[in-house]
Chains A and B, each alone.
Chain A
Amino acid sequence: MKDKVITRIIKIAGFSSIIIVLMIFYFLLKEGLPTLGEVALSDLFTTRWYPIEDYFGILPLFSGSLLVTFISIAIALPFGIGTAVYIAEIAPARVKEILKPLIEILAGIPSVVLGFIGIVFLSPTLRETFNLPTGLTAFTGALLLALISVPTIVSVAEDALNAVPQSYREASYALGVTRWQTIWQVTLPAARSGVITAVMLGISRTLGETMAVMMVTGNAPTMLQGIQSIFKPTRTMTATIASEMGEVASGSTHYHVLFFIGIVLFLFSLIINIISSHFSEKNRKEKEQVV
Chain B
Amino acid sequence: MSNQSSHTATQVRKAKDGIGYTLIHIISFFTLLPVLGIIFYIVANGAPTITWDFLTSMPTDGMRAGGILPAIVGTLYLTIGTAVFSVPLGVAAGIYLAEYAPQNIWTRFIRIAIISLAGIPSVVYGLFGLGMFVLFLKLGNSILAASLTLSIMTLPTIISTTEEALRVVPERFRVVCASLGASKWQGIRKIILPEAMPGILTGVILGLERAAGETAPILFTGATFFLPHLPSSPLDATMALPYHIFVISTQVPGMPLQIQFGSVLVLLVFVLVMNLSATTIRTRARRNRQW
Contacts and interface: CB of A to CB of B under 8 A. Distances in A.
A277 B96 contact: no
A17 B113 contact: yes
Interface string B102-115: 00001001101111
A255 to B, nearest CB: 10
Contacts of A150: 31
A73 B38 CA distance: 21
B131 interface: yes
Contact of B215 (A31, A111, A121, A208): A111
A246 B219 contact: yes
B96 A210 contact: no
A274 B245 contact: no
B206 interface: yes
Interface string B250-265: 1000000100100010
A204 B114 CA distance: 15
A282 interface: no
Given A24-B120, A211-B215, A259-B127, A105 B35 contact: yes
A interface residue count range (under 10 / 10 to 19 / 20 to 34 / 35 or more): 35 or more
Given A20-B155, A110-B242, A150-B31, A273 B115 contact: yes
A52 interface: no
A235 to B, nearest CB: 13
Interface string B39-65: 101100000000000000000000000
Taking chain A's interface residues, is the majority helix, strand, or loop, or is none over half, making it mixed?
A: helix
Q: Which of A108, A259, A265 has the most CB of B within 10 A?
A: A108
B28 interface: yes
Contacts of A270: 116, 119-120
Contacts of B23: 82
Contact of B275 (A21, A104, A204, A241): A104
B78 interface: no
Taking chain B's interface residues, is the majority helix, strand, or loop, or is none over half, making it mixed?
A: helix
A20 B113 contact: yes
A113 B245 contact: yes
Interface residues of B, number: 89
A179 B17 contact: yes
Contacts of A112: 213, 215, 242-243, 245-246, 267
Nearest to B120: A269
A204 B30 CA distance: 23
Given A110-B214, A178-B17, A13 B126 contact: no
Interface stretch (A41-49, A83-91, A161-169): A83-91
Nearest to B214: A110
Nearest to B91: A13
Interface of B: 13-14, 16-17, 20-21, 23-25, 27-28, 30-32, 34-36, 38-39, 41-42, 88-89, 92-93, 95-97, 100-101, 106, 109-110, 112-128, 130-132, 135-136, 152, 155-156, 159, 183-186, 206, 209-210, 212-216, 219-220, 242-243, 245-246, 249-250, 257, 260, 264, 267-268, 271-272, 274-275, 279
30 contacts: A6-B185, A10-B96, A11-B100, A13-B96, A14-B93, A14-B101, A17-B156, A24-B124, A83-B28, A86-B24, A86-B25, A103-B35, A106-B32, A110-B271, A112-B267, A116-B245, A116-B264, A117-B38, A180-B16, A181-B17, A201-B119, A204-B119, A208-B119, A238-B121, A241-B126, A241-B127, A245-B126, A258-B127, A262-B127, A265-B124
> Which 9 residue pairs spanning A and B have beta carbons closest together?
A208-B121, A110-B213, A14-B96, A13-B92, A273-B119, A82-B27, A27-B131, A180-B17, A210-B216
Given A106-B35, A265-B124, 19 more contacts: A3-B185, A9-B92, A10-B92, A15-B106, A17-B110, A17-B117, A17-B156, A27-B131, A86-B27, A116-B245, A117-B38, A117-B41, A210-B122, A211-B216, A215-B246, A238-B121, A242-B123, A245-B126, A270-B119
